[in-house]
Amino acid sequence: MRTLLSIFRLIRAGLVLARAGAFDPAARTEQVPAPARLGLRILIALVGLRRPRPGHVPRGLADALERLGPSWIKLGQFLATRADLVGAETRAELARLQDALPPFPRKAAVATVEDQLGAPIRELFAEFGEPVAAASIAQVHRAVTTDGRTVAVKVLRPGIEDRFADDIHAFFLAARVAETFSREARRLRLVTVVETLKSWVRHEMDLRLEAAAASELAETSAGDAFFHVPQPDWAGTARRVLTLEWIDGIPLTDTAGVAAAGHDLSELAVRIIRLFLTHATRDGYFHGDMHQGNLFLAEDGTLSVVDFGLMGRLDRPTRRFLAEILYGFLERDYARVAEVHFEAGYVPADRSRAAFAQALRAVGEPIFGREARDISMGRVLTQLFETTEAFGMETQPQLLLLQKTMVTVEGVARELDADVNMWEAARPVVAAWMVENIGPEGRLRSAARDAGLLMDALPEIVEGARQLARASGPDGLRLASPVPAHPPRRTARDLALLAAGAGIALIAAYFA
């Protein structure tokens, strides 16, 4: 029965998307079973669908997804992070999804809050207002706690979990059918795409995880001047309810209001770019949805960010990769950019480094000598990843979210100042990271970390050697220097000396 309902959901969605020009319903009808082919053609004629022109980008796609409802909005937002699947132009269309829907009644929100927090609303809040913002998964209410603090209370939509479960089932059905009949669908790994979407939505629908994300970002960015992350109120947070401190300020959607308040738009644009890059390179943890509606500017110039459902995380090797490729493009050192790709293992070792460096030069050189308004860092990253894929680089999910966020941040910055130079704004952040992590001091710290890891592992290494020696028979492996049956006990001082010696050797080898 559920499969049958999923089929009907997909038919309806197909009609809505076809009307928006998202695909050609009459294309490749030879792949449709013969009995269904005639019915498909009749259906197309009855509903008056038009075939899109070659190269057509469906301009009404975002509106169509909004009409289909919350699950489809999230699908569109997810695909906006996957330019490798939908292409750059369609991704730009999907980026218009604002996730704005009509609110549900305050009474339903109150019922959810009371159920999740286990007390009547009057005992939890002195005031609990009407919704001030409504999105696909949740809406936000302004409230005042019993001790007088103004807070934002985010509440999941009633029944949203069941709605998403039904639609995800339909997505899986469509993906499996597509992969069964289409080689292109198998190449794009549509089932894996749906699995990723499912995990993403599951994370967003547990508001305790969003509270943890806000708390972590507040911690990693604590030293950043004029940047603020609202603190979660853990006592007012549960799986379906999130309470955060209330943020007062001008939303960056109101550019005229920001300018009228006396703020320097050019300085603000540069600051937003540098904040994002600092969080990505220094911390390896960044806000993955930094559009204007999630950014607020206080009277003193402090920038606050909200909505922590989508966060990006980069490990240290990926951060080094990011910093080095950006620095390489800034210095026009394409050979080094190519080498970094090979060192990271992103490009197969059997490919030509010289040919790859030449391809990177074709990406980087056109940006130099042009006006700042004509230089798009997001476009360069898109071309970079297209080039690396042509050389056999597999899709790197963490870089795709980074690329999507970079495009968003660039759009925010250019709304504030059309002439902002993204590359010059990025230079001090990238250069500082390079000095901090790849210069002499950074290498010493890296060697010290390696020495610490060696010290931690040394007892296990020694014990492993003993076991290997005991396991060796008369004709088996023998150590050059036999281990005594009862070796002297190593003290902490002995281990520290051994580790220190090993660390010095590592440092010497590193700089040799």
Give me the count of residues in the chain.
Answer: 512
Contact 51, 26 (CB under 8 A): yes
d(CA 67, CA 136): 11
Contact (Cβ atoms closer than 8 angstroms) between residue 328 and residue 365: no
- Region for 73 from its dihedrals, namely left if φ exceeds 0, alpha if ψ lies in -120 to 50, beta otherwise: alpha
Residue 149: Cβ-neighbour burial (10 angstroms; 0-12, 13-18, 19+): middle
User: How far, in whole angstroms, is CA 78 from its chain's centroid?
Assistant: 10
Give me the DSSP letters along 412-441.
HHHHH-TT--HHHHHHHHHHHHHHHHHSHH
84, 289, 307, 417: the catalytic one is 289
Active site annotation includes 475: no
422 HSE (CA, 13 A, CB side) = 27
- Rounded distance between C-alpha atoms, residue 205 and residue 154, angstroms: 11
Q: What residue has token string 């909005």?
A: 73
Closest of 388, 199, 225, 403 to residue 309, by C-alpha: 199
Largest Cα separation within the chain, whole Å, is 89
What Å distances lie between residue 495 and 151, 447, 459, 487, 499, CA to CA?
53, 18, 8, 14, 6
CA–CA separation, 510 vs 6, rounded Å? 59
Question: In a 3-state reduction of DSSP, which class is residue 125?
Answer: strand
CB-based burial, 131-147: b 16+ in 10 Å, e otherwise: bebbbbbbbbbbbebee
Q: Cβ distance 347 to 392 under 8 Å?
A: yes
Q: Which amino acid is at 39?
A: G
Strands 150-156 and 138-145: antiparallel
- Strand pairing partners for 140? 133, 154
Query: Which is it for the CA torsion 180, 185, 189, 193, positive or negative?
Result: negative
- Between CA 415 and CA 342 the distance in angstroms is 37
DSSP letters, 142-157, are: EEEETTS-EEEEEEEP
Q: Which residues are catalytic?
A: 289
